Structure 1
Amino acid sequence: MRDWGDLPKRALTAAVLGPAALLCVWFGGYGWAALMALCMTGLSWEWAKLCGGSTVASPGIFVAPSVLAALALALLGHPAAGLGLLGIGAVGAWYAASRSVGTRPFWWAFGVLYLGIAGVALVVLRGDDLVGRDNVIFLLLVVWASDISAYIAGRSLGGPKLAPAISPNKTWSGSLGGLFGASAVGLLAAMALGGGGSAGRVILVSALLGIATQAGDLLESWIKRRFGVKDSSGLIPGHGGLLDRLDGVIAAAPLAALIGLAVGHGVHLWR
């Protein structure tokens, strides 16, 4: 019999946090800025904790300030400057970590880029005054659909493992279920949000974002195995930490921003 013991707690947490996040995206402005700042602060804290340090001591002092400053620049309309600042912050984190015994310079620097690029990408995506709200909502719904569908299909069907050396619980059935869920919800979201676009195009974009979501999930699982932890923290009941919950968004957001740049200003991702 499959273990569904964590489902009620997962569902309750998602029912509270999901709508709150969507409201911040919908209204934008200070609510959106506060949501991004809160998430990036929490993610930076978890990353420093994962690396065996803190955000108030070197090299951790380079993580949150670099990420939040890049986020601020992007919110002010200067994403390129924000990305440049992330590069400087990553170099600073690397240098500071390399001077301390027992630290991991690569991982400290990687954390600045890993979190910061995703944050800037989300801000850029939402910053489109014509379709930014729709595009971020579409992205979040596809990512959540991928996660939920993969969870349900994997727990229900089981079968061959997807990557047992990285994440022993993930299966091919879960992966395929996640892609199906991402594509189906992407179609429904595109219909609800409007903007046109063929079904084939919507499915393609949704599937690509779904693949990125699963890749982010696997990457975070691999990182946690490298550090010997089960969850990034216990901040979110039933889900572990912010990194555990947002790994798919962190991976899919840069891809969504690139698609947005490719289709142009004022155009929905699925067009």
Structure 2
Amino acid sequence: MTTVAAAADDAKRWRDLRKRALSAAVLGPAAVACIWFGAEAFTALMAIAVAVLAWEWVHLCGRRTRVFPGLAVPLVVLAAGAFAVEDHPRIALAVLVAGWIATWVGAQRMGSSLTQPAGRLAAGVLYIGLAGIALIELRHDTEAGRANVLFLFLVVWASDIGAYMAGRAFGGPKLAPSISPNKTWSGAAGGLVCALIAGGACALAFTPTASLLAITVVVAIVSVASMIGDLLESAIKRHFKVKDTSSLIPGHGGLLDRLDGVLAAAPVASIISFMLGLGRPLWGWG
């Protein structure tokens, strides 16, 4: 009976692995192709992603994107992204902040019909918009954009995969049980190790003489930011009392579930890139 119970428990832990693998096999190459083939393809991908992310957020708040105030979230984020595409990041940020305030105020005036408070609906503007602007700015660097965005996504993906595999395999003490009872310290360690391998390989492929210390530090920063984003998304879902943000992606839930790490890591990577200057890879400070 013990053997049977152990086998059943093991199967339960890995039951969503096949769906996850199939979804990743479809979505991963498409994202990498858009990153690789140019800023235009990546911008188109970002526009689609932002629209879906905004739709999921608005629905979490009990609203619809076809009418105000729900419609304000995708409109503001896409407008800010358009200015970022035209290389006006300061205007993009100003539009984002102004749109966040306007969405909050507008939602408050329609508060009697809101499922969630106005501030939570408006928060989606910043949550999605900041990451969108950051990714556009990173990729539009004609010299280092491809390397930086590919590096960012590989580190985030490796962190997620490593945390999933190590956490399911080893278990152990919980990382943040009040936020996400399934996440463990062993998973966090596994995610960091995988991120170091994937990020290090990517960085050395683009710049073979890069400083290993610089690569390690930047990978660690981006990986930890990704894990914080994962925990933040878990807290958001706990707040909204949902398991997934939608059922869009088999095995992964919604796009917000899939891009939680990117939403947190992209602004961090963009700040690093801004500090280094144009044409420099994220690990190019060593």
The TM tier, using the shorter chain, reads: over 0.9
Runs of 4+ in 1 over 3 A off after TM superposition: none
Contact 2:39/2:140, CA 8 A, preserved across alignment: no
Partner SS for 2:279: coil
What displacement does 1:227 show? 0.6
Matches within 5 A, 1:226-241: 226-241=239-254
2:16 counterpart residue number: 6
Per the alignment, do residues 120 and 196 of structure 1 end up closer, same or farther by CA in structure 2, a change over 3 Å counting?
A: farther
What displacement does 1:34 show? 1.2
Aligned length: 271
What displacement does 1:110 show? 1.1
Q: Tell me the amino acid that sits aligned with residue 134 of structure 1.
A: A
Deviates more, 1:244-253 or 1:171-180: 171-180
What displacement does 1:195 show? 6.1
Pair 1:163-2:176 in alignment: yes
1:246 counterpart residue number: 259
Matches within 5 A, 1:108-127: 108-127=121-140
Contact 2:58/2:70, CA 8 A, preserved across alignment: yes
Q: TM-score, normalised by structure 1?
A: 0.98
Aligned equivalents of 1:221, 1:126: Cα separation in 2: 28
2:44 counterpart residue number: 34
Matches within 5 A, 1:1-271: 1-2=9-10, 3-99=13-109, 100-101=111-112, 102=114, 103-194=116-207, 196-271=209-284
Aligned equivalents of 2:256, 2:82: Cα separation in 1: 21
Deviations 1:34-53 (A, max 9, x none): 10000000000000001111
Gapped runs of 5+ residues in structure 2? 1-8
Contact 1:195/1:268, CA 8 A, preserved across alignment: no
Contact 1:90/1:108, CA 8 A, preserved across alignment: no
Deviations 1:120-142 (A, max 9, x none): 00001011110101000000000
Aligned equivalents of 2:155, 2:210: Cα separation in 1: 16
Aligned equivalents of 1:201, 1:72: Cα separation in 2: 33
Gapped runs of 5+ residues in structure 1? none
What displacement does 1:30 show? 3.0
Aligned equivalents of 2:64, 2:130: Cα separation in 1: 21
Aligned equivalents of 1:97, 1:52: Cα separation in 2: 12
Contact 2:39/2:139, CA 8 A, preserved across alignment: no
Aligned equivalents of 1:163, 1:12: Cα separation in 2: 29
What displacement does 1:237 show? 0.8
Aligned equivalents of 2:238, 2:47: Cα separation in 1: 28
